[in-house]
Structure 1
Amino acid sequence: MKNIITISRQFGAGGSTIGQAVAERLGYYYCDKDMIVRTAIESGNLSPGEIRYYDEKVPKEFGFGQSLFDFYNKPLDERLFNAQKEAIKKLAEKGNVVIVGRNANIILKEYDRTLHVFIAATEHFRLKRMMGKMPGVPEEKVLSRLHSVDKARQKYCKYYTDTEFGNAAYYDLALKSSTLGIDNCVDIICNTAKY
């Protein structure tokens, strides 16, 4: 049985929704960025003030600017990344956890009993889904957001892990939620975790 599940995802593909459902069905702890940051604070690696400070900084090497609209996915300073990496390892050592994002698949690549999942979807599916979550935001702005978050995740992954975001070589399972549906993705992940 796999008791550590990591989920990487394209923006709008439903990775967080799928991760929450998998955790609930398996009785696992669900962990996303907010919970990882909280664990980093509790470990004493960074204070809340430092996290606020670092969470607004972008390494110059990234070559792109910040956006208030991108609070959840913005790149992090090296120190915060390392604090989150240690927090992810501590969560994984307890087991029975679903970790969404933050390059957990690479951070935990040497751990036993892991299942690393990537969730993708067509642009149309992601656009429609995100428009439902962002009422009143013009379609072209949502589409631009999809592209910029995907690009940011690719750069973040390359910068901090020297790997390629979404490359099948770094995952055990890749699912397309636009083809399979959210519920089928949950079923497949839960069934695969049993082996």
Structure 2
Amino acid sequence: MKNIITISRQFGAGGGTIGKEVAERLGYYYCDKDMIIRAAIESGNLSPEEVRYFDEKVPREFGLGQSLFDFYNKPLDERLYNAQKEAIRKVAEKGNCVIVGRNANIILKEFDHSLHVFVSGTEHFRVKRMMEKMPGTTEEKVREELHNVDKARKKYCKHYTGTEFGNAEFYDLCLKSSTLGLEKCVDIICDTAKF
């Protein structure tokens, strides 16, 4: 039985919705971006404003001249990433959880009893889905946001983990929600987690 499930996803593919349903069906704790960020803030040294500003942004300067051991002199976003990483590990150590986003699949790669899932969808499906969630927003604006978020996630993943966001090599299971539907994705994840 897999008692740690991570879900990475393309923007608009329904990964968060799928994750919530998987957690509900399995009776697992659900943890998403907001919960992880809250835990990172509670860890100290980061204000909510700093967290909001640097969330999922790659630093312009890597701080190469700084000591790797001097936490307080690291760029803020490095501190944020490390605080989020620690929060994710604490949730995983308790088990029976579904963690959405934040590169949790890489952060928890050495954890036994884990299932790492990637959810994708066609651009048409994702745009349509997000337009329903954002009434009054033009298709052009939604499509632009889709591209921006996907690009930011890829860049963030590459910078902090050295891996490629969405590459099947880094996941146990890759699902296309536009083909399977969200409910079928939930079924597949729950069934796979039982092994």
TM (norm. structure 2) is 0.88
Task: State whether structure 2 residue 40 is matched by structure 1 residue 40.
Answer: yes
Kindly state the Cα deviation for residue 37 of structure 1 after the two structures are TM-superposed.
1.6
- Whether the 8 Å CA contact 2:116–2:171 is kept in 1: the answer is yes
Post-superposition CA distance 1:143-186 (Å, at most 9, x none): 11111111010000001111000000000000000000000000
Kindly state the Cα deviation for residue 38 of structure 1 after the two structures are TM-superposed.
1.9
Post-superposition CA distance 1:57-79 (Å, at most 9, x none): 341159xxxxxxxxxxxxx8110
Task: State whether structure 2 residue 115 is matched by structure 1 residue 118.
Answer: no
Partner of 1:67: none
Task: State whether structure 2 residue 52 is matched by structure 1 residue 55.
Answer: yes
Q: Match of 2:53, SS?
A: coil
Partner of 1:168: 168
- Supply the RMSD in Å over aligned alpha carbons: 1.4
Consecutive unaligned residues in structure 2, runs of 5 or more = 63-75
- Whether the 8 Å CA contact 2:13–2:177 is kept in 1: the answer is yes
Partner of 1:153: 153
Q: Match of 2:6, SS?
A: strand
Partner of 1:71: none
Kindly state the Cα deviation for residue 40 of structure 1 after the two structures are TM-superposed.
2.4
Amino acid at match of 1:55: R
State which structure, 1 or 2, has the greater radius of gyration over its C-alpha atoms: 2
Q: Match of 1:6, SS?
A: strand
Whole-angstrom CA distance in 1 between matches of 2:82 and 2:163: 16
- Whether the 8 Å CA contact 1:13–1:121 is kept in 2: the answer is yes
Consecutive unaligned residues in structure 1, runs of 5 or more = 63-75
TM (norm. structure 1) is 0.88
Deviation above 3 Å: which 4+ runs of structure 1?
none
Kindly state the Cα deviation for residue 92 of structure 1 after the two structures are TM-superposed.
0.1
Partner of 1:194: 194
Kindly state the Cα deviation for residue 45 of structure 1 after the two structures are TM-superposed.
3.8
State how many pairs are aligned: 179
Q: Percent identity?
A: 73
